[in-house]
C-alpha cells in the first residue's frame, strides 16, 4: 500500500512541463509606430515574465528593421540538418538569386540548449525571373527548398527582417541568438507549449513567409481544410505545425488577393451566420461573398495570434475568444500580449489597456517619415 507521504513525494517530482496545459503558449508583440528602433532586450524581458505558459519545447522571435544595410534584399534564414542539405540549397539559390552576402547566423553557447542545427542567412536578389513578381519568385523558391531538399528549411524570407527560433525557453533562445545586439522597430516573441505537434527547431514559432510573421497560442482544428485550400494557390505546408497555415493565408488574402487587412481578418475569424444575417445590407452582402469565396480560409479552433508585416502589427482572437489577448498603447508604441503582466514589465504605465473583442482585430500601421536607418 502506498502511503500518503510517498504520494506527496511523487507529486512534487512532477514538473509543470509534464502537465497538458491547453491554454498555454505565450505571445508578445512590441511595435513603434514611428519606426523608432530598440534592441531585443525589451521583448525578451516581456516574454520571460510568461515563462509558466511554456515548457521549454520552443521559443522564437521575429524582428523588423534589423538589416538596414541590406534593406532591399530578401533575407533568407535557413536551418540545415547537415552539410549535404546546405550544399544542395546553396546550389539552388545560386541558380536563382544573386547572393550579395551569406554567413552563419551569430550565436553564443547557452547551457540550456544542448543541440542545434546549422543556422545560416543569405541576402539575395532574384535573377532570371519567369514572369513572376519578385515576391512570387521568392515564394516559389522557399517552397521548393522546404519541399524538395531534405534537411533544409527556409525559416524567414522577408526584407529587412528575420526570424530566430529554436527548441528552448524563449529567454534562452534570445540569448543564444544574441538578440540584444539587434535593433528593430517591431518585435514579436513566442514561448511554446506544444499539445498536438512535434517539438523541433523548424516547428517553433514564429512562422514566416516574405515579410509576414505569425506567433500563435491555440490550435487550428481547420488545419486540414486550410492546407488543402492553400495548395490550390501554390502554398505547401511542410513544417508539421498548424500555425504555418496562418502565415500563408495572410499572404494569400492580403498580398495576392488584395484584401485590406481588416477584411482579411474578417475572413480568418469570420462572424457566425446568424451575426452576418443581422448586418446592414451592404455589409451582409460583403461577408456572404467573402464566405463563399474564401470558405476554405476560415480558421476554426481556439487561437490568439500576433502578426508582423511591412505595414505594421496585427492582433487577432478566434470568434469566441478562447485564448487570452491583451493590448496596450502609449507614446506611439503598441503592445500585444497573452498577459497584461508581459506588457507592464516593459511599459509600467501605458496610456490605454484593453482586451480585444472576439474576432475583432487590433491593427496599427507605421507612420510615414519615421526612423529607417
**Residues labelled as active-site residues:** 25
CA distance 250 to 194: 23
Ranges of beta strands (E only) in 198-302 are 207-209, 212-218
Report the b/e string of 246-282 with b at 16+ CB within 10 A.
Answer: bbbbbbbbbbeeebebebbbbbbbbbeeeebeeeeee
Q: At what angle do helices 134-148 and 83-96 cross, to 10 degrees?
A: 150
Helix (H, G, I), strand (E, B) or coil at 81: coil
* Residue among 121, 157, 153 nearest 139 (CA): 157
105, 177 Cβ separation under 8 angstroms: yes
* Torsion sign over Cα 108, 120, 53, 6: negative
Who contacts 71 (Cβ-Cβ below 8 Å, separation ≥6)?
A: 159, 160, 372
User: How many whole angstroms separate alpha carbon 68 and alpha carbon 228?
Assistant: 37
CB 58 within 8 A of CB 204: yes
Q: What is the DSSP string of 333-360?
A: EEEEESSHHHHHHH-SS-SEEE-PPTT-
The dihedrals phi and psi of 54, each to the nearest 5 degrees, come to -120, 170
End-to-end CA distance of the chain: 70
Question: Helix, strand, coil % (nearest 5) of the chain?
Answer: 35, 25, 40
For residue 64, the surrounding DSSP H or E stretch is: strand 59-64
Amino acid at each position: 500500500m502506498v502511503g500518503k507521504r510517498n504520494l506527496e513525494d511523487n507529486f512534487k517530482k512532477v514538473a509543470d512541463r509534464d502537465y497538458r496545459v491547453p491554454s498555454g503558449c505565450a505571445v508578445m508583440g512590441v511595435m513603434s509606430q514611428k519606426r523608432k528602433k530598440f534592441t531585443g532586450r525589451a521583448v525578451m524581458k516581456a516574454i520571460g515574465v510568461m515563462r509558466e505558459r511554456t515548457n521549454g519545447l520552443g521559443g522564437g522571435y521575429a524582428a523588423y528593421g534589423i538589416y538596414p544595410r541590406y534593406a532591399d534584399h530578401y533575407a533568407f534564414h535557413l536551418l540545415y540538418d547537415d552539410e549535404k542539405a546546405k550544399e544542395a540549397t546553396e546550389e539552388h539559390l545560386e541558380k536563382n538569386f544573386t547572393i550579395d552576402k551569406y554567413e552563419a547566423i551569430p550565436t553564443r553557447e547557452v547551457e540550456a540548449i544542448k543541440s542545434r542545427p546549422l543556422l545560416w542567412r543569405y541576402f539575395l536578389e532574384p535573377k532570371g525571373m519567369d514572369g513572376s513578381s519578385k515576391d512570387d519568385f521568392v515564394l516559389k523558391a522557399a517552397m521548393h527548398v522546404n519541399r524538395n531538399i531534405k534537411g533544409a528549411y527556409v525559416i524567414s524570407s522577408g526584407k529587412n527582417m528575420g526570424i530566430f527560433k529554436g527548441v528552448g525557453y524563449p529567454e534562452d533562445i534570445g540569448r543564444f541568438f544574441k538578440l540584444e545586439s539587434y535593433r528593430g522597430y517591431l518585435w514579436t516573441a513566442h514561448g511554446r507549449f506544444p499539445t498536438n505537434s512535434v517539438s523541433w527547431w523548424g516547428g517553433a514559432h514564429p512562422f514566416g513567409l516574405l515579410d509576414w510573421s505569425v506567433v500563435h497560442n491555440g490550435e487550428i482544428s481547420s488545419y486540414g481544410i486550410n492546407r488543402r485550400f492553400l495548395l490550390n494557390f501554390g502554398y505547401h505546408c511542410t513544417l508539421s505545425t498548424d500555425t504555418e497555415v496562418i502565415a500563408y493565408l495572410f499572404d494569400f488574402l492580403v498580398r495576392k488577393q488584395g484584401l485590406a487587412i481588416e477584411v482579411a481578418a474578417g475572413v480568418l475569424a469570420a462572424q457566425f451566420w446568424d451575426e452576418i444575417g443581422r448586418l446592414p445590407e451592404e455589409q451582409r452582402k460583403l461577408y456572404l461573398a467573402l464566405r463563399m469565396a474564401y470558405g476554405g480560409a476560415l480558421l476554426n479552433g481556439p487561437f490568439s495570434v500576433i502578426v508582423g508585416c511591412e505595414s505594421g502589427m496585427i492582433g487577432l482572437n478566434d470568434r469566441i475568444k478562447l485564448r487570452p489577448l491583451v493590448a496596450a498603447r502609449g507614446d506611439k508604441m503598441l503592445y500585444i500580449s497573452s498577459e497584461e503582466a508581459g506588457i507592464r514589465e516593459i511599459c509600467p504605465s501605458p496610456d490605454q489597456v484593453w482586451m480585444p473583442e472576439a474576432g475583432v482585430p487590433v491593427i496599427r500601421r507605421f507612420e510615414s517619415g519615421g526612423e529607417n536607418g
